Structure 1
């Protein structure tokens, strides 16, 4: 087994775990914070949009079962890559989208994937998702881990109420 890491910021991390959790070859999906300038940030600190951190997920996966390219495709289908101000209901830098790359190969694949999405014509605005070399990832507090399993009622109301689920359905025409 060849374990690898993928790190994505897609707005609220609660909504980013479930889509990846269901794939064979994905060993874990952890909610957390990355990209900022303070060590061991708390949820409350990150929500102030003053730490430079974004809510993100870090995926440990077996790249012999699921490829990084497949993970990128799943990622793009969870977000509005044209929104520079956050994602859906959540606004501010802590909710901006990003792909954090762990190797030159991931960087290359992420850039190719972004360019292909830009050229696809699916969106009429530019793709603004950042592609950034990965740095320290800080796991979020336990209450935020696998929120969709711990608090399914609240999670479902949030995923629908934020506009994310409607956007995904209208953009991709299917459950993603």
Structure 2
């Protein structure tokens, strides 16, 4: 198994948190992992992306130029990274904020209105990233939901652990969106 994932959006959407969750969950499942963040100069609202590699064997380079999975949470991220996705790759996109269709016809596209769902189901758009992450987990079977929930305890500061059930519910909603 080799998953090379680019996650992208704007600052404040939880892109880095998603990447960290995948990396920790991969470690919990004894996978080889890498996580490389990339930030724009702004604290919130600027560009943010990270590259995550999950593998059953050693990772020769953490740099990902042609991911097999792309998760984009806003339109500028789609515009920037769509061309790099491998043919046949998986594109998960937040259709609440992306009002265009991808240009490519040689990829699998899954549209999840994650901001709208987060607001409608939980009254909190801050878990939109967890919805789309749940969809990724179900579609790829790369990691278990349990490992990601365990990773939440590492990624979230202890004073935020009360939010773990909310995040778990958002992950499960994402899973149900693509079943």
TM range (shorter): 0.3 to 0.5
Q: Which structure has the highest helix share of the two? A: 2
TM-score (norm 1): 0.39
TM-score (norm 2): 0.38
The structure with higher relative contact order (CA 8 Å, sep 6+) is 1
